[in-house]
A and B are shown apart, each in its own frame.
Chain A
Amino acid sequence: GAGVSQSPSNKVTEKGKDVELRCDPISGHTALYWYRQSLGQGLEFLIYFQGNSAPDKSGLPSDRFSAERTGGSVSTLTIQRTQQEDSAVYLCASTEGVGGYSPLHFGNGTRLTVT
């Protein structure tokens, strides 16, 4: 079946512009996670959704970052007034059960470059 799909795969934007990153999880997966990965680094937790609710937004770096999920499916991560330090790969993952006990299924990420 289809895996987790992220779009766009690459995004180049000018500093100060807003960007929207999209994640289509595996159908039926209730939990959805967003991570940020800087070049050669580990994964930084941003936010996760259980259904349409985001119980933990503690990882969002600043109020320029927001995320939503609708219909228990597609999620968008929005970065307003992008800064150069926002450049990274943004990874989305979904899982069918509680994240800690079910494997996360990752998309291939969106590579964001802020010039």
Chain B
Amino acid sequence: SQQGEEDPQALSIQEGENATMNCSYKTSINNLQWYRQNSGRGLVHLILIRSNEREKHSGRLRVTLDTSKKSSSLLITASRAADTASYFCSHTFLNRDDKIIFGKGTRLHILP
């Protein structure tokens, strides 16, 4: 399968703590994106990181990309109850900008 993999599959942390989710993929990529999905809703785009970038920030989000290890991580700092959701990484393939593949996601639960 060309699908990426997120880990852990599920994560529960206390509000205020940091949450780290990882994503691995199998082939060379052009870029990688992270999305959030609240229960019963569609996915919402969070951040895009290109293959020549190593780190990117957006508010409380920090994304890293290690192309040598074919992996990415998403860090959410100072978590809030509203961060409870599933998080997915997606990527396109080198020389294929159009086909977008998603991983299986990490279900994040923030405990009050």
Which residues of A are interface residues toward B (Cβ below 8 A)?
Answer: 4, 31, 33, 35, 40-43, 45, 48, 50, 55-56, 91, 93, 98-101, 103-109
**A47 (CB) vs chain B CBs: closest residue:** B99
| SS of B interface (majority) | strand
Residues of A within 8 A of B41 (CB): 108-109
Interface size on B, residues (CB 8 A): 27
Which residues of B are interface residues toward A (Cβ below 8 A)?
Answer: 3, 30-31, 33, 35, 40-45, 48, 88, 90-92, 96-105, 107
CA distance A12 to B5 in the complex (A): 31
Residues of B within 8 A of A101 (CB): 30-31, 48, 97
Find out whether the CB atom of B42 lies under 8 angstroms from the CB atom of A48.
no
Find out whether the CB atom of B88 lies under 8 angstroms from the CB atom of A106.
no
